[in-house]
Copies of this chain bind each other. A is one copy, B any other.
Amino acid sequence: MFESAELGHKIDNKTFRREVEQLRVALLKAQYELKEAARFPVVVLISGVDGGGKSETINVLYEWMDPRFLSTQAFTAPTDEEADRPPLWRYWRGLPPKGRVGIFAGSWYSIPIADRIEDKLSELELDRTLAELNRFEAMLANEGALILKFWFHLSRDAQKARFKALEDDPRTAWRVTKESWARLKTHGKLQDVAGHVLRITNTPWAPWIVVDGSDDNYRSLRTGSVLHEAMQRKLVEQNQARFPVAPPLAPRIDGRDVLSALDLSQSLSKETYERQLAKWQGRLSELVRHPRFRKHALVLVFEGSDAAGKGGAIRRITGSMDARQYQIVPVAAPSDEERAQPYLWRFWRHVPRKGRVTIFDRSWYGRVLVERVEGFCSEEDWLRAYAEINDFEHSLDQSGIAVLKFWLQIDPDEQLRRFKEREETEFKRFKITEEDWRNREKWDAYRLAACDMVDRTSTGQAPWVLVEANDKRFARIKILRAICLRLELVLGL
């Protein structure tokens, strides 16, 4: 893996100056074109051994390019807001928008590599993490990002020489610490772990570029050239490269599906409802106040046809919680900042801290529902979304966040009745628009999309609960009960 980076590459100053002159102009040009077109973001990971020249190279890139359109994220110990959320959250937060170059000094690889060296992570755990990172990067690439991962390598001797040189110069002596010399001792172990990590995560869509770090000129020039070439190629590319996807599922030939199997006639009397409501609201209120909940969080997703009763159900849930503990996120059209990011970004923003609850009124499932049906994204986009969504929810689950998803199902007659009622009640008129009537005409297409969605994204960790919602009382109790039972399970009660 690192052999060709130990050949002792060197570039003399004269050649360097000549090459840099051309490269700078080319890089600036590519950077401005990127900014103007704003078609994709460039994600640059700078990793490698200590003393390998990471910060020097980043600083050189800043000299060569227009620093106003570069950003660098340095990740050291997580802040408490970061530590309270899934590990990927802080990297999502730092992603560059389309049109910009974002440099990650320290990346999603740093902690797994360090943990493996210190034996805090087993080989198996590391491999599972790497598989997740590959999927994360594939998602970024599919969303259009150009991803370049640099690894600056030094042999043990070269690393030693480097530390000595830094120490001898009074301007850089501060950079060599006791920890630096300690790293020298784990050099072999780092090579083993990094070699493995690079092998597993060296994908066509997010390649590793191993660079000999010992010569400043060589390292900077190579990094700059690779960056320029990759940007240039992607700028002229007409069509985004995409992963091949299998064709969509054929419609069920016997007309039976998970939704038609629901018995929508189920209902509750007012009396039973009131009793059950008090019971489950009380239970929920205790559960979110339970000391163990402080180490968890809750994400609720509400989907369903228009007028299925999502708002009313949400109101019954919030009725048993303190308003300071939860946020409701009504999902409408994305803002322009959100449109400049991968589509999951606008949901990652709202991932709750430990001890908190986020309720999504419509959600990331819009990708496989409205965006699929209305053709707002390509078939490739919504087909790959199933796996990406499962990965997202897996991340949440892994950090102790309970995820529950509700599909509220009503029949067309009931919808019509509710639409009319809304039109007749003054303060409900805001809740019904032309669009609702148009969506109604696409009932079958939405139904098919919903069935595919349930089939492909109902997982043990993040199950779909299908709710018979013709009777609002029945639906609300079913939802409250499901949340309580799930929380009891997650809290181990």
Contacts and interface: CB of A to CB of B under 8 A. Distances in A.
Interface string A30-48: 0011011000000000000
A72 B32 contact: no
Given A58-B323, A62-B323, A322-B59, A314 B25 contact: no
Interface stretch (A63-71, A119-127, A135-143, A385-393): A63-71
Interface string A56-100: 001101110011111110100001110000000000000000000
A399 interface: no
Interface stretch (A259-267, A330-338, A376-384): A330-338
Given A79-B79, A80-B80, A427-B28, A324 B72 contact: yes
Contacts of A207: none
Contacts of A105: 323-324
Given A32-B430, A330-B68, A324 B361 contact: no
A319 B311 CA distance: 54
Copies of this chain, count: 2
B315 A63 contact: yes
Contacts of A322: 55, 58-59
Contact of A58 (B25, B81, B103, B324): B324
Nearest to A310: B68
A55 B320 CA distance: 12
Nearest to A58: B323
Nearest to A76: B324
A29 B314 contact: no
B328 A70 contact: yes
Contacts of A61: 323
A318 interface: yes
B55 A323 contact: yes
Contacts of A32: 427, 430-431
Most buried by B among A63, A174, A285, A335: A335
Interface string A328-352: 1010000111000000000000000
A36 B318 contact: no
A330 B69 contact: yes
Given A29-B427, A55-B324, A430-B36, A319 B71 contact: no
Contacts of A67: 314-315, 318, 328
Contacts of A327: 71-72
A13 B103 CA distance: 62
A157 interface: no
A431 B74 CA distance: 29
Contacts of A325: 74
A323 B80 contact: no
Contacts of A427: 25-26, 28-29, 32
A22 B286 CA distance: 32
A274 to B, nearest CB: 16
A80 B171 CA distance: 31
Contacts of A62: 315, 318-319, 323
A289 interface: yes
B71 A25 contact: no
Contacts of A36: 430
A426 B28 CA distance: 10
Contact of A171 (B68, B282, B318): B282
B323 A59 contact: yes
A48 to B, nearest CB: 15
Interface in A156-199: 171, 174
A228 to B, nearest CB: 12
> Which 10 A-B pairs rank lowest in CB-CB distance, beginning with the nearest?
A74-B324, A32-B430, A68-B330, A72-B323, A58-B323, A29-B427, A28-B427, A25-B427, A335-B337, A68-B328
15 contacts: A32-B431, A59-B318, A62-B319, A67-B315, A67-B328, A68-B314, A69-B330, A72-B327, A80-B80, A80-B81, A103-B323, A105-B323, A171-B282, A174-B289, A335-B336
